[in-house]
Amino acid sequence: MSQLLPERRTRGSAQRWEPLSDFEQVTERMRRLLDQTFGDADWPAAFSERGAWSPLVDIEETDDAYVLEAELPGVKREDVEIEHVGNELTIKGEIVERERQGVLRRRTRRTGRYEYRVTLPDQVDGDNIDANLKDGVLTVRVPRSQKAQRRRIEVKT
């Protein structure tokens, strides 16, 4: 149980605060707690894979489609994998860290495997999904099926 206590920091040495390291410590503690409670299991990628992350995504609903815009800066189109199964859409791939010449002083850009999953409504036309990558933004257009499209119905007298 002592593993769950907060870590102490010495007052004598000046340390720079790294807020993301606090999140990593919490994630590691949660993983250890789950392992102690349920035994070793294959937990989701966010817990088990180092560096796994999810890109920022906007989802817009229009009259005839759902439009997803994912931020993937520096990603080539051949390095993006989009899969549609049932009513679930998955965007995944990997951003490989490039080799550095000098000493890396600060790193805030994300690298490693990424994955984004979204459950779409049942009535989408999976055969006509369109994807386009331009200027670091992946745009995926998922058209609605004819049954699910909105139509304006005129009221008669």
Whether the per-residue pLDDT at 108 is higher than 90: the answer is no
Q: 135 with 151, same domain?
A: yes
104 located within any domain:
no
Tens-place pLDDT, residues 44-90: 544 444 557 889 999 999 888 999 999 999 898 899 999 999 889 99
Beta bridge pairs of residue 58: 69
For residues 91 and 55, the answer to whether their CB atoms sit within 8 Å is: yes
26 located within any domain:
yes
115 located within any domain:
yes
144 located within any domain:
yes
Provide the number of structural domains found in the chain. Answer: 2
Extract the tokens encoding 130: 């369109």
For residues 129 and 55, the answer to whether their CB atoms sit within 8 Å is: no
User: Residue 71 is inside which H or E element, if any?
Assistant: strand 65-71
121 located within any domain:
yes
Whether the per-residue pLDDT at 11 is higher than 70: the answer is no
HEC secondary structure over 19-49: HHHHHHHHHHHHHHHHHHHHCCCCCCHHHHC
Q: 78 with 44, same domain?
A: no
Decide which of 118 and 35 is more confident. 118
Q: What is the number of residues in the chain?
A: 157
Q: Return d(Cα 128, Cα 130) in angstroms, integer.
A: 6
8 located within any domain:
yes
Q: 62 with 89, same domain?
A: yes
Q: 85 with 156, same domain?
A: yes
Cα distances (angstroms) measured from residue 86 to each of 62, 83, 104, 119, 143: 21, 10, 44, 9, 14
Q: 9 with 58, same domain?
A: no
Q: 24 with 38, same domain?
A: yes
User: Residue 81 is inside which H or E element, if any?
Assistant: strand 80-85
91 located within any domain:
yes
Q: 57 with 74, same domain?
A: yes
pTM for the whole structure: 0.61
Please give the single-letter amino acid code of residue 81: E
pLDDT at 45: 42
Domain that residue 87 falls in: 51-99+109-157
The pLDDT confidence band at residue 96, using thresholds 50, 70 and 90, is confident
The vertex-117 CA angle with 55 and 87, nearest 5°, equals: 150
Q: 114 with 41, same domain?
A: no
Q: 11 with 81, same domain?
A: no
Q: 66 with 125, same domain?
A: yes
122 located within any domain:
yes
Q: Which of the residue ranges 52-56, 116-120, 144-148 would you say has the lowest mean pLDDT?
A: 144-148
Q: 73 with 116, same domain?
A: yes
Q: 64 with 20, same domain?
A: no
